[in-house]
Amino acid sequence: MCYQSGTLNPAETVEIKRFVQNQHQLKNQDSKTSPHCGTSSSGNIKHYVNWFNQLTVMVASEILRHSKKQHRVQVIEYFIDVAKECINVGNFNSLMAIVAGLSLPPVVRLKKTVS
């Protein structure tokens, strides 16, 4: 993942990761049909929740995979920039997933990095 400013719009990076997902997963998604209309009643919500959880874990993983404080700081700053861009473009789902990733206990315990 590239953390240099000016290479890619941070929101574009999040969206690229989102749409690069395996299409096979989307086609074989477990969804039940509603008896009333014959359409999926929970497939979209499950996909939405899965996407949120994947992005949350990715944010935390990207921060935690670096052992040097300086690199962790750069990654945290990068995700803060991505979150700001998500606000600008109205992508509140990704914004909240990033905030959730930054708020996970293993990330919060990095007191020297965050403070």
CA distance from start to end of the chain: 24
* Residue 66 phi, psi dihedral angles, 5° rounding: -95, 130
This prediction has a pTM of 0.64
For 1-56, the pLDDT digits (tens) are: 545 545 556 655 555 555 444 444 554 554 444 455 555 557 788 888 999 999 99
Q: Where are the domains of the chain?
A: 41-115
Q: What is the structure's pLDDT at 32?
A: 47
Q: Which amino acid is at 58?
A: M
Mean pLDDT over the full length of the chain: 77
Q: How far apart are CA 55 and CA 61, in angstroms?
A: 10
